[in-house]
Amino acid sequence: MAVLTVSRLFGSGGDDVVDQVCHTLGYRHFNKRNIARAAFEAGFSEAEIAAYSDFSEVNYKYKTFLHRLFKHTTAASRENQPRETIAATLRAEEKLFNESSALALVQQAIRDAWKASNIVIVGRGGQIILKDYPGVLHVRIEAPREDRIRRAEAYLRAERGEYATYFNIHQDAINLVAERDAASADYIRLYYGADWANPALYHAVLNTGKIGIAKTAQVIVEMLDCLFPDLALAAHPSEGAD
């Protein structure tokens, strides 16, 4: 069995590719539940598990992470509290989050996923954490800028729903693409001292703008079959059956 790590440019269609690969091979998606499991096994508290399990390149920046983590605590729920109480609560929330512990848990969860096999790890530095591990295929997915902006526009329209007409969707999509790319690049540079776009980190760099989503997924499946022949029977159980 094998493990696939995927690095993708935002809007490249990488998530759709991963979905198709998982569907074809019966693989699982690595997600924050894997990190929560690692945190539980390490003996972290429930609050710490909740805090660390969503740590990723999308929200690793300290203030942004805390904002996303505690956004469920609305202003309305605090409006009747004294300022001193609110300040104390915020300090406690910030103290809860330890960047080093969160990163270590992500790394441990990814190593545990490698042991379990049959999983696709998207982002979070998987291509570096499992760089020299056997049975792992590292792939980067890219696409032309115009394709990525178009997908970002569709994402924003769906997210904003009926309010989409009040925004400059095209400009917001351009900004979102740039912000997500910068966050991923910064995450890899900050924590691993590596260049996120370095092709030497990957077995292959695939462009969905050249071959499409379905063909990209097919190429990845064929690469797994080629590099790890024992995968073929598991992926296509009807083949070779007597």
pLDDT tens-digit map of 105-118: 888 889 988 988 89
**Is the pLDDT higher at 234 or at 132?**
132
End-to-end CA gap in the chain: 22
**137 within 8 A of 203, measured Cβ to Cβ:** yes
Distances from the Cα of 76 to the Cα of 71, 188, 230, angstroms = 12, 37, 56
pLDDT value, residue 75: 45
Q: pLDDT grade, residue 178 (50/70/90)?
A: very high
Burial of 161 (0-12, 13-18, 19+ CB in 10 A): exposed
Cα 27 to Cα 7: distance, rounded to the nearest angstrom: 17
**Is the pLDDT higher at 23 or at 83?**
23
pLDDT value, residue 149: 96
CA nearest neighbour of 123 among 140, 142, 108? 140
**Is the pLDDT higher at 150 or at 33?**
150
Sign of CA dihedral 156, 158, 163, 168: positive
Max Cα-Cα span within the chain: 74
CA nearest neighbour of 19 among 241, 217, 226? 217
CA nearest neighbour of 137 among 116, 115, 121, 113? 121
Residue type, 82: P
Q: Which domains does the chain have, with CATH numbers?
A: 1-27+118-232 (3.40.50.300), 32-99 (no CATH)
Q: Is residue 41 predicted with pLDDT exceeding 90?
A: no
Burial of 174 (0-12, 13-18, 19+ CB in 10 A): middle
Q: Is residue 85 predicted with pLDDT exceeding 70?
A: no
**Is the pLDDT higher at 227 or at 84?**
227
Instruction: Give residues with Cβ within 8 angstroms of 103, minimum separation 6.
Output: 55, 191
pTM score of the predicted model: 0.76
Q: Which of 66-75, 155-164, 219-228 has the lowest mean pLDDT?
A: 66-75
Cα 208 to Cα 205: distance, rounded to the nearest angstrom: 10
Q: Is residue 90 predicted with pLDDT exceeding 80?
A: no
